[in-house]
């Protein structure tokens, strides 16, 4: 009966026709209802225009159309409908198809979703009109534009005011906006706590962005107690709400067991969702996950796919990882040239290790002369642009004539430029000064450069400086200082330093003799293949110099040293006589 009366009334007034259209939609006759809404909208009724625009945007009763939806929203907004102004402001903020926008509104065109153009100025205009009319959501939207819009529109103080009005009206987006403003302005713990409280209100209302930001504060312990489990739970809620950054962070938490049980399978699923949505860090993590294996089987083809996705988005470490896969032929054909291209991209994006990888690639035996020339040109250009790692590698090219003519003076000049920021360059420039290669010999300056590299912890530089201290070349003799340097290098695994430290502790230097420690370091060197260490360990065990005698073991070490061409070891074996295996039993 009501429906019949509604249909009857629709014959007499636009308002009644609107009510009838809404009843049809409510009863499930959506197509008929939206068609009737359209006829009412054509009469100029703002509410009907808004509802038709909403139908096109949602694809309710008509084919979805961003342009048609915007066209009807514009008509309703110009007629003063507040909700239409809010929606139109949002549409302009996120972008409409380029050909669908005109000075007089929006016209119907073929839609191209990838060719949408944001218009923050128009967005601000319509959001402001709706905000002034009292819409809390519009107040929050206008606040966001003032906070993060183009420089000409930004006004953080005004943004805070609009967010406060929206929050006072109970709008969760207003609380989120206040949290953002206060986070950025926070100079102490109290400011961060204030921001966290505003974000918590928005997070409790279900806003994914607020859940993610609050999770980040809780994970870092900024303004709130640090709690990895609570942070991970918030990341999970935000991930479910579709926040891309939260999906990546939640996937990482599952991968590493941060505040939750480790679950590589779920981690892969969330990282994949984030990566497919465009998160380059998530794509790189997926590459790592598939390359390293662990609880999932290694899949280098899949790893390369995700590294490429991350690399194409500008992820430096992903370019380097991809270069490593290509260089080793993991999951794809080995290609030195392609590996070099990947390393160059990584280095250009700031990955310092990639510059060293390029240098190692340059010195590789299987690199063609064409590849060397290409790498040399890259190093020359990057060095000229101020890259110290490239300057170091360019100097190596010039020193050895790799892909270019040999030029030691130019090599020394570039090595000096690199030495301000590259430890290896300090060491090699020091050697150049000591030897007068490409520059005037200056032992004091050479020792000084090597000392800088040694102080930075470079083991080879520590050994070189210790040798200079022993001989007094380029500066005073200092046996105690030399022994300390040998020990530092030996503890890093430098085998020659192990032998040299043993030799110093064994006597003959300005140090207390400690043959027990000397034998320890000789053994460390011997076990790592150092021939002189094997000789000295054999002598110590043969003669009991450290209080321990073991002729059988002594013979084994002396035989190893002799096999490496140490004549003193061969002489010791002759004096020792034939071993047990050489005796012939007689009966």
Token digits of residue 244:
């891309």
Q: Output the pLDDT for position 293.
A: 66
Give CA separation, 353 vs 114, 133, 324, 378, 478, in Å.
36, 57, 12, 16, 35
Of 355, 336, 347, 476, the residue nearest 424 (C-alpha): 355
Q: Output the pLDDT for position 473.
A: 95
Among 141, 130, 132, 134, residue whose Cα is nearest residue 50: 130
What pTM was computed for the model?
Answer: 0.64
Residue 103: the pLDDT is 40
pLDDT at 106: 45
Determine the longest span between alpha carbons in the chain, in angstroms. Answer: 135
Phi, psi of 101 (to 5 degrees): -115, 135
- Contact indicator for 56, 64 with CB cutoff of 8 Å: yes
CA dihedral 546, 548, 551, 552 (to 10 degrees): -120
First to last CA, the chain: 129
The label of the residue with tokens 């020091």 reads: 430
C-beta separation of 324 from 286 below 8 A: no
The two three-digit tokens of residue 397, written as one number? 């090219």
Rounded CA-CA distance 460/429 in Å is 13
* C-alpha R_g of the chain: 37
Write out residues in the chain with pLDDT < 50, as ranges. 1-2, 4-10, 12, 101-110, 581-587
User: Considering only CA atoms, which of 180, 179, 228, 175 is closest in space to residue 205?
Assistant: 175
Distance (Å, whole) CA 28 – CA 199: 39
Q: Say what the pLDDT of residue 580 is.
A: 59
| Res 110: pLDDT | 44
pLDDT of residue 99: 53
């Amino acid at each position: 009966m009501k429906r019949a009366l509604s249909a009857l009334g629709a014959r007499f007034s636009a308002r009644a026709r609107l009510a009838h259209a809404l009843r049809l939609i409510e009863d499930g006759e959506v197509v008929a209802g939206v068609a009737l809404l359209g006829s009412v909208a054509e009469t100029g009724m703002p509410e009907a225009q808004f509802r038709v625009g909403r139908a096109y945007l949602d694809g309710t009763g008509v084919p979805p159309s961003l342009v048609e939806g915007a066209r009807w929203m514009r008509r309703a907004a110009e007629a003063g409908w507040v909700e239409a102004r809010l929606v139109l402001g949002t549409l302009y903020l996120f972008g409409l198809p380029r050909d669908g926008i005109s000075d007089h509104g929006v016209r119907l065109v073929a839609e191209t979703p990838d060719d949408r153009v944001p218009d923050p100025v128009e967005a601000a205009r319509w959001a402001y009109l709706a905000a002034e009319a009292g819409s809390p959501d519009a107040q929050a939207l206008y606040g966001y534009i003032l906070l993060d819009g183009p420089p000409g529109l930004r006004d953080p103080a005004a943004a805070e005011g609009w967010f406060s009005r929206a929050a006072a009206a109970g709008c969760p987006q207003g609380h989120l906006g206040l949290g953002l403003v206060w986070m950025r302005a926070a100079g102490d713990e109290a400011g961060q706590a204030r921001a966290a409280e505003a974000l918590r209100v928005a997070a409790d209302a279900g806003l994914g962005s607020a859940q993610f930001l609050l999770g980040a504060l809780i994970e870092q312990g900024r303004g709130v107690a640090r709690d990895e489990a609570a942070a991970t739970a918030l990341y999970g809620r935000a991930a479910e709400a579709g926040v891309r950054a939260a999906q990546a962070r939640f996937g990482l938490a599952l991968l590493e067991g941060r505040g939750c049980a480790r679950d590589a399978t779920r981690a892969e699923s969330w990282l994949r969702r984030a990566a497919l949505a465009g998160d380059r860090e998530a794509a790189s993590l997926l590459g790592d996950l598939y390359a390293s294996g662990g609880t999932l089987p290694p899949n280098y083809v899949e790893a390369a796919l995700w590294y490429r996705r991350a690399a194409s988005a500008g992820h430096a470490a992903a370019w380097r990882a991809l270069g490593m896969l290509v260089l080793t032929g993991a999951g794809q054909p080995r290609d030195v040239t392609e590996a070099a291209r990947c390393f160059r991209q990584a280095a250009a994006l700031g990955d310092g290790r990639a510059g060293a990888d390029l240098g190692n690639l340059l010195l590789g035996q299987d690199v063609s002369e064409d590849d060397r020339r290409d790498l040399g040109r890259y190093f020359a250009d990057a060095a000229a642009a101020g890259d110290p790692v490239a300057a170091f590698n360019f100097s190596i090219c010039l020193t050895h004539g790799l892909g270019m003519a040999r030029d030691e003076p130019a090599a020394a000049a570039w090595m000096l430029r690199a030495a301000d920021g590259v430890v290896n360059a300090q060491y090699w420039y020091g050697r150049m000064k000591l030897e007068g290669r490409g520059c005037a010999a200056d032992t004091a300056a050479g020792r000084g450069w090597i000392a800088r590299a040694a102080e930075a912890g470079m083991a080879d530089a520590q050994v070189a400086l210790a040798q200079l201290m022993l001989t007094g070349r380029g500066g005073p003799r200092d046996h105690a200082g030399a022994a300390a340097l040998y020990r530092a290098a030996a503890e890093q695994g430098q085998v020659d330093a192990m032998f040299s430290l043993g030799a110093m502790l064994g006597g003959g230097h300005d140090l207390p003799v400690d043959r027990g420690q000397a034998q320890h370091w000789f053994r460390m060197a011997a076990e790592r293949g150092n021939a002189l260490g094997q000789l000295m360990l054999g002598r110590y065990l043969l003669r009991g110099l450290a209080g321990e005698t073991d002729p059988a073991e002594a013979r084994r070490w002396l035989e190893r040293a002799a096999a490496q061409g140490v004549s003193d070891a061969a002489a010791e074996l002759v004096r020792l006589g034939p071993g047990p295996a050489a005796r012939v039993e007689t009966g």
